[in-house]
Amino acid sequence: MSILVTPDTKVLIQGITGSFGARHAKLSLEYGTKVVAGVTPGKGGQLFEGIVPIFDTVEQAVRETGATVSAIFVPPPFAADAIVEGVDAGLDLVVAITEGIPVIDMMKVKLSMKGSKTRLIGPNCPGLVTPGTGKDSHGGCRIGIAPGYIHKKGNIGVVSRSGTLTYEAVWQLTTRGYGQSTCVGIGGDPINGTSHTDILKMFNEDPETEAIIMIGEIGGTGEEEAAAWAAANCKKPIAAFIAGATAPEGRRMGHAGAIVSGGQGTAAGKIAALRAAGIAVAETPTDMADTLIERIKNG
């Protein structure tokens, strides 16, 4: 098994006719992902690429196609609405790719989701991939914007706040012959749906996942919380990398959530917490996979 999604997961895409959404919907279809529906208000009844039916609402798309997961590509002003629409339609998982959603909107979205069965991943994230068994890992479930071919089916779980650093880690693993169970980008915003700890818990319970790479960055306390949880509960080898050791205090480093303020959220603090939890920390982004492989070999 993988976590969150399998190659059989039926996916719908909110914002499938926008240039960004369309491009990645097409790439997911080529990857072999079961993209069963698109949602663009006002374009219901049309077909995307001649094969994927488009609906006006998520509720209709779910009813007609049985989709259980949504990827959101709609622009920031409409993204909060799109997320809650997915939640209200009873989806299992909503993956918000959109970058730039107002923080106050996300606060309300997050609180309104309490008690719902839906999990939110993101926003401002690359999405997730459960690699398939075909050439270049085709036949898997690709939700979002990650390049599919860098993956390989296997037993390493990857969780990260950053897109390109995830791709670096995945590519290092693949070129060293280590495949992945599932790779999850949780996003770079200060308020997001799923934390490092949430994903570590799933990897820990997933029999297919044997070891984990966890990538973090400055800002917030998510990595520290994950370290504390892992120290007490996780028996699988973990390697970590934290970006932003040289970032100046008080500046947002690209990601809205990547900021050190009042001495909180520093890379040094996170690395110390990870090491204290017995997690192997890679010195540089070049040796993320090697650090994990060494940890696996040393038991």
Partner 1 sequence: MNIHEFQARELFAEFGVATQPGSVAHTAEEAKNVAAGLGGKLVVKAQIHAGGRGKGTFKSGFKGGVHLCETPAEAKEIASRMIGEVLVTHQTGPEGKEVGKIFVGEAVDIARELYFAILIDRSTSSPVVIASTEGGMDIETVAEKSPEKILRLIVNPFLGLMPYQTRLIAASLGLTGPLMTQASKLFTNLYRLFIERDCSMVEINPLVVTPDGKLLALDAKFNFDDNSLYRQPSIIAMRDITEEDPREVEASKFGLNYIGLDGNIACLVNGAGLAMATMDIIQHAGGMPANFLDVGGGATREQVTAAFRIILADKSVKGIFVNIFGGIMDCNIIATGIVEAAKETGLSIPLVVRLEGNNVEAGKKTLAESGLKLESGENILDAAHKIVAAVKAVA
Residues that are catalytic: 255
Interface residue with partner 1 among 30, 100, 133, 278 (CB under 8 A) is: 100
Contact between 258 and partner 1 (CB under 8 A)?
yes
Within 10 angstroms of residue 273's Cβ, the number of other Cβ atoms is: 21
Smaller CB separation from partner 1, 62 or 97: 97
Q: Which residue has the tokens 């959603």?
A: 101
Minimum Å gap between C-beta 256 and partner 1 is 6
Interface residue with partner 1 among 54, 83, 84, 150 (CB under 8 A) is: 150
Contact between 44 and partner 1 (CB under 8 A)?
no
Beta-strand (E) ranges in the chain? 10-14, 34-39, 47-48, 52-55, 69-72, 93-96, 119-121, 127-130, 141-144, 153-160, 180-185, 211-217, 238-243, 280-281
240 phi, psi to nearest 5 deg? -130, 160
Contact between 196 and partner 1 (CB under 8 A)?
no
Compose the 107-146 pattern: x for residues touching partner 1 by CB under 8 A, - for all others: xx-xx---------------------------------xx
Q: Which two tokens stand for residue 274?
A: 């990870």
Smaller CB separation from partner 1, 132 or 206: 132
Contact between 276 and partner 1 (CB under 8 A)?
no
Q: Does residue 123 have a cis bond before it (omega within 30 degrees)?
A: yes
Interface residue with partner 1 among 102, 133, 275, 276 (CB under 8 A) is: 102
Contact between 183 and 45 under an 8 Å Cβ cutoff? The reply is no
